[in-house]
Structure 1
Protein backbone atom coordinates (compact mmCIF):
# COMPACT_ATOMS: atom_id res chain seq x y z
CA UNK A 1 0.00 0.00 0.00
CA UNK A 2 2.77 2.45 0.91
CA UNK A 3 4.58 1.72 -2.32
CA UNK A 4 1.43 2.06 -4.42
CA UNK A 5 0.66 5.39 -2.74
CA UNK A 6 4.18 6.63 -3.42
CA UNK A 7 3.83 5.83 -7.11
CA UNK A 8 0.34 7.33 -7.36
CA UNK A 9 1.43 10.53 -5.60
CA UNK A 10 4.78 10.65 -7.41
CA UNK A 11 6.73 10.47 -4.15
CA UNK A 12 10.01 8.72 -3.65
CA UNK A 13 10.73 5.86 -1.26
CA UNK A 14 13.79 3.82 -0.47
CA UNK A 15 14.50 0.21 0.40
CA UNK A 16 17.36 -0.87 2.63
CA UNK A 17 18.56 -4.46 2.66
CA UNK A 18 20.44 -5.02 5.91
CA UNK A 19 22.56 -8.07 6.65
CA UNK A 20 24.48 -8.88 9.84
CA UNK A 21 28.15 -9.48 9.19
CA UNK A 22 29.08 -11.84 12.03
CA UNK A 23 26.28 -14.37 12.47
CA UNK A 24 28.60 -17.31 11.82
CA UNK A 25 30.51 -16.49 15.01
CA UNK A 26 27.27 -16.81 16.96
CA UNK A 27 26.00 -19.88 15.13
CA UNK A 28 29.34 -21.64 15.70
CA UNK A 29 28.47 -21.57 19.41
CA UNK A 30 24.90 -22.70 18.75
CA UNK A 31 21.86 -21.53 16.86
CA UNK A 32 20.29 -20.10 20.02
CA UNK A 33 23.20 -17.64 20.20
CA UNK A 34 22.60 -16.72 16.56
CA UNK A 35 18.89 -16.23 17.23
CA UNK A 36 19.73 -13.97 20.18
CA UNK A 37 22.01 -11.85 17.99
CA UNK A 38 19.26 -11.48 15.38
CA UNK A 39 16.78 -10.49 18.08
CA UNK A 40 19.19 -7.94 19.57
CA UNK A 41 19.95 -6.51 16.14
CA UNK A 42 16.22 -6.17 15.37
CA UNK A 43 15.68 -4.29 18.64
CA UNK A 44 18.40 -1.80 17.73
CA UNK A 45 17.07 -1.35 14.19
CA UNK A 46 13.47 -0.91 15.37
CA UNK A 47 14.65 1.63 17.94
CA UNK A 48 16.08 3.76 15.14
CA UNK A 49 13.04 3.72 12.84
CA UNK A 50 10.83 6.72 12.23
CA UNK A 51 7.09 6.22 12.85
CA UNK A 52 6.45 6.03 9.09
CA UNK A 53 9.07 3.33 8.39
CA UNK A 54 8.57 -0.43 8.04
CA UNK A 55 10.93 -3.27 8.92
CA UNK A 56 10.67 -7.03 8.33
CA UNK A 57 12.91 -10.07 8.44
CA UNK A 58 13.90 -11.00 4.92
CA UNK A 59 14.56 -14.47 3.60
CA UNK A 60 16.57 -16.54 6.07
CA UNK A 61 19.32 -15.73 8.52
CA UNK A 62 19.98 -12.25 9.72
CA UNK A 63 18.62 -10.18 6.83
CA UNK A 64 16.14 -7.35 7.22
CA UNK A 65 14.31 -5.16 4.72
CA UNK A 66 13.43 -1.60 5.70
CA UNK A 67 11.03 0.52 3.65
CA UNK A 68 11.42 4.28 4.05
CA UNK A 69 8.39 6.14 2.64
CA UNK A 70 8.91 9.67 1.32
CA UNK A 71 12.67 9.22 1.56
CA UNK A 72 15.04 9.93 -1.32
CA UNK A 73 18.39 8.21 -1.72
CA UNK A 74 20.45 10.72 0.28
CA UNK A 75 17.99 10.60 3.18
CA UNK A 76 18.07 6.80 3.10
CA UNK A 77 21.86 6.88 3.26
CA UNK A 78 21.72 9.04 6.40
CA UNK A 79 19.23 6.67 8.02
CA UNK A 80 21.32 3.66 6.98
CA UNK A 81 24.38 5.20 8.58
CA UNK A 82 22.40 5.73 11.78
CA UNK A 83 21.47 2.02 11.74
CA UNK A 84 25.06 0.96 11.05
CA UNK A 85 26.52 3.02 13.88
CA UNK A 86 23.75 2.03 16.33
CA UNK A 87 24.30 -1.71 15.80
CA UNK A 88 28.07 -1.31 16.02
CA UNK A 89 27.78 0.60 19.31
CA UNK A 90 25.10 -1.63 20.88
CA UNK A 91 26.98 -4.80 19.98
CA UNK A 92 29.94 -3.80 22.16
CA UNK A 93 27.96 -5.38 25.01
CA UNK A 94 27.00 -8.50 23.01
CA UNK A 95 28.88 -11.78 22.88
CA UNK A 96 30.82 -10.61 19.79
CA UNK A 97 31.06 -7.11 18.32
CA UNK A 98 28.75 -7.07 15.33
CA UNK A 99 28.48 -4.92 12.22
CA UNK A 100 25.97 -4.68 9.41
CA UNK A 101 26.20 -4.22 5.66
CA UNK A 102 23.49 -2.22 3.92
CA UNK A 103 22.38 -1.98 0.30
CA UNK A 104 20.06 0.86 -0.70
CA UNK A 105 17.81 1.40 -3.72
CA UNK A 106 15.27 4.19 -4.27
CA UNK A 107 12.14 4.68 -6.35
CA UNK A 108 12.12 5.93 -9.06
CA UNK A 109 15.91 6.20 -9.48
CA UNK A 110 16.63 2.46 -9.40
CA UNK A 111 13.41 0.95 -10.69
CA UNK A 112 9.69 1.40 -11.05
CA UNK A 113 8.48 -1.65 -9.14
CA UNK A 114 9.17 -3.33 -5.83
CA UNK A 115 10.87 -6.38 -7.32
CA UNK A 116 13.36 -4.27 -9.27
CA UNK A 117 14.17 -2.25 -6.17
CA UNK A 118 14.62 -5.34 -4.01
CA UNK A 119 16.97 -6.84 -6.61
CA UNK A 120 19.02 -3.62 -6.77
CA UNK A 121 19.17 -3.27 -2.97
CA UNK A 122 20.20 -6.93 -2.56
CA UNK A 123 22.92 -6.51 -5.18
CA UNK A 124 24.19 -3.39 -3.41
CA UNK A 125 24.17 -5.30 -0.11
CA UNK A 126 26.26 -8.07 -1.67
CA UNK A 127 28.76 -5.46 -2.88
CA UNK A 128 28.94 -4.03 0.65
CA UNK A 129 29.80 -7.46 2.03
CA UNK A 130 32.25 -8.24 -0.79
CA UNK A 131 34.04 -4.91 -0.27
CA UNK A 132 34.78 -5.61 3.39
CA UNK A 133 31.46 -5.41 5.28
CA UNK A 134 30.41 -2.74 7.82
CA UNK A 135 29.40 -0.27 5.11
CA UNK A 136 26.62 1.11 2.96
CA UNK A 137 26.52 0.69 -0.81
CA UNK A 138 24.05 2.53 -3.02
CA UNK A 139 22.51 0.69 -5.96
CA UNK A 140 23.89 1.36 -9.44
Structure 2
Protein backbone atom coordinates (compact mmCIF):
# COMPACT_ATOMS: atom_id res chain seq x y z
CA UNK A 1 0.00 0.00 0.00
CA UNK A 2 1.37 3.39 -0.98
CA UNK A 3 -0.85 5.58 1.20
CA UNK A 4 -2.91 8.54 0.03
CA UNK A 5 -4.36 8.69 -3.48
CA UNK A 6 -2.44 10.65 -6.08
CA UNK A 7 -2.54 11.48 -9.77
CA UNK A 8 0.25 11.19 -12.31
CA UNK A 9 0.28 13.45 -15.37
CA UNK A 10 2.74 12.47 -18.07
CA UNK A 11 3.32 15.23 -20.61
CA UNK A 12 5.10 15.06 -23.99
CA UNK A 13 5.81 17.97 -26.34
CA UNK A 14 4.36 17.31 -29.80
CA UNK A 15 6.90 17.18 -32.63
CA UNK A 16 9.74 18.44 -30.43
CA UNK A 17 12.39 16.93 -32.72
CA UNK A 18 11.19 19.29 -35.46
CA UNK A 19 11.88 22.26 -33.16
CA UNK A 20 15.47 21.12 -32.61
CA UNK A 21 15.99 20.23 -36.27
CA UNK A 22 14.50 23.47 -37.61
CA UNK A 23 15.54 26.08 -35.05
CA UNK A 24 18.44 24.44 -33.21
CA UNK A 25 19.00 22.96 -29.79
CA UNK A 26 19.23 26.35 -28.10
CA UNK A 27 15.65 27.08 -29.15
CA UNK A 28 14.71 23.56 -28.06
CA UNK A 29 16.16 24.34 -24.63
CA UNK A 30 14.09 27.55 -24.47
CA UNK A 31 10.96 25.54 -25.29
CA UNK A 32 11.74 22.99 -22.55
CA UNK A 33 12.21 25.80 -20.02
CA UNK A 34 8.96 27.44 -21.14
CA UNK A 35 7.03 24.20 -20.66
CA UNK A 36 8.57 23.75 -17.20
CA UNK A 37 7.59 27.28 -16.15
CA UNK A 38 4.03 26.95 -17.46
CA UNK A 39 3.59 23.59 -15.71
CA UNK A 40 4.89 24.99 -12.42
CA UNK A 41 2.61 28.02 -12.70
CA UNK A 42 -0.48 25.85 -13.30
CA UNK A 43 -0.16 23.33 -10.47
CA UNK A 44 -0.98 23.81 -6.79
CA UNK A 45 1.63 24.18 -4.09
CA UNK A 46 2.96 20.78 -3.13
CA UNK A 47 2.72 19.30 -6.62
CA UNK A 48 5.91 17.79 -7.96
CA UNK A 49 6.92 18.65 -11.54
CA UNK A 50 9.94 17.06 -13.14
CA UNK A 51 11.49 16.45 -16.50
CA UNK A 52 11.43 12.76 -17.24
CA UNK A 53 13.77 12.81 -20.20
CA UNK A 54 13.93 14.28 -23.67
CA UNK A 55 10.73 16.24 -24.08
CA UNK A 56 8.71 14.35 -21.47
CA UNK A 57 7.66 15.65 -18.07
CA UNK A 58 5.87 14.07 -15.11
CA UNK A 59 3.65 15.79 -12.57
CA UNK A 60 2.59 14.24 -9.27
CA UNK A 61 -0.58 15.62 -7.69
CA UNK A 62 -1.42 14.43 -4.20
CA UNK A 63 -5.01 13.73 -3.18
CA UNK A 64 -6.61 14.54 -6.54
CA UNK A 65 -9.62 12.89 -8.14
CA UNK A 66 -9.65 12.16 -11.89
CA UNK A 67 -11.88 15.12 -12.73
CA UNK A 68 -9.53 17.48 -10.86
CA UNK A 69 -6.38 15.98 -12.37
CA UNK A 70 -7.88 16.01 -15.87
CA UNK A 71 -8.93 19.67 -15.52
CA UNK A 72 -5.43 20.56 -14.32
CA UNK A 73 -3.92 18.73 -17.31
CA UNK A 74 -6.21 20.63 -19.66
CA UNK A 75 -5.28 23.92 -17.99
CA UNK A 76 -1.60 23.11 -18.54
CA UNK A 77 -2.17 22.02 -22.14
CA UNK A 78 -4.10 25.18 -22.99
CA UNK A 79 -1.63 27.46 -21.18
CA UNK A 80 1.23 25.96 -23.20
CA UNK A 81 -0.77 26.38 -26.42
CA UNK A 82 -1.34 30.08 -25.62
CA UNK A 83 2.24 30.78 -24.48
CA UNK A 84 4.55 33.18 -26.23
CA UNK A 85 7.22 30.98 -27.82
CA UNK A 86 10.48 31.55 -29.67
CA UNK A 87 9.84 32.22 -33.38
CA UNK A 88 6.09 32.37 -32.62
CA UNK A 89 5.97 28.57 -32.73
CA UNK A 90 2.64 26.90 -32.08
CA UNK A 91 3.51 24.61 -29.20
CA UNK A 92 1.22 21.70 -28.35
CA UNK A 93 1.50 18.89 -25.85
CA UNK A 94 -0.26 15.68 -25.05
CA UNK A 95 -0.92 14.49 -21.52
CA UNK A 96 -1.78 11.11 -20.06
CA UNK A 97 -3.45 11.06 -16.64
CA UNK A 98 -3.68 8.16 -14.19
CA UNK A 99 -4.60 7.69 -10.53
CA UNK A 100 -3.46 5.61 -7.62
CA UNK A 101 -5.01 3.23 -6.72
CA UNK A 102 -7.55 3.11 -9.58
CA UNK A 103 -4.99 2.53 -12.35
CA UNK A 104 -2.34 0.57 -10.49
CA UNK A 105 -1.49 -0.86 -7.10
CA UNK A 106 2.18 0.16 -7.44
CA UNK A 107 4.08 3.28 -8.52
CA UNK A 108 5.14 1.43 -11.66
CA UNK A 109 1.56 0.46 -12.49
CA UNK A 110 0.25 4.01 -12.11
CA UNK A 111 3.15 5.36 -14.15
CA UNK A 112 2.56 2.75 -16.88
CA UNK A 113 -1.14 3.67 -17.02
CA UNK A 114 -0.25 7.36 -17.55
CA UNK A 115 2.27 6.36 -20.22
CA UNK A 116 -0.31 4.21 -22.01
CA UNK A 117 -2.79 7.12 -21.95
CA UNK A 118 -0.06 9.37 -23.39
CA UNK A 119 0.50 6.96 -26.28
CA UNK A 120 -3.24 6.80 -26.87
CA UNK A 121 -3.25 10.61 -27.13
CA UNK A 122 -0.48 10.39 -29.75
CA UNK A 123 -2.46 7.80 -31.70
CA UNK A 124 -5.60 9.96 -31.59
CA UNK A 125 -3.94 12.99 -33.12
CA UNK A 126 -1.90 14.82 -30.47
CA UNK A 127 -2.64 18.13 -28.67
CA UNK A 128 -4.95 16.40 -26.20
CA UNK A 129 -5.35 14.97 -22.73
CA UNK A 130 -6.35 11.35 -22.22
CA UNK A 131 -7.39 9.76 -18.93
CA UNK A 132 -6.21 6.21 -18.31
CA UNK A 133 -8.78 3.48 -18.41
CA UNK A 134 -9.44 1.39 -15.32
CA UNK A 135 -8.37 -1.74 -17.20
CA UNK A 136 -4.87 -0.26 -17.66
Same fold? TM cut 0.5? yes
CA deviation map 1:21-69 (0-9, x unaligned): 13122111211111111111111111111002110000x2111000000
Which sections of structure 1, spanning at least 5 residues, go unmatched?
A: none
Distance 2:117 2:69 in 1: 14
Query: 2:86: which partner in 1?
Result: 94
Say whether residues 1:62 and 2:55 are aligned partners: yes
Query: 1:108: which partner in 2?
Result: 101
Counting only pairs closer than 5 Å after superposition, residues 17-32 of structure 1 correspond to structure 2 as 17-28=10-21, 29-32=23-26
The answer (yes or no) to whether the contact 2:7–2:62 under 8 Å persists in 1 is yes
Which sections of structure 2, spanning at least 5 residues, go unmatched?
A: none
Distance 1:104 1:70 in 2: 14
Pairwise CA RMSD:
1.4
Number of residue pairs matched?
Answer: 131
Query: 1:52: which partner in 2?
Result: 46
Distance 2:35 2:15 in 1: 11
Query: 1:34: which partner in 2?
Result: 28
Distance 2:72 2:90 in 1: 21
The answer (yes or no) to whether the contact 2:27–2:86 under 8 Å persists in 1 is no
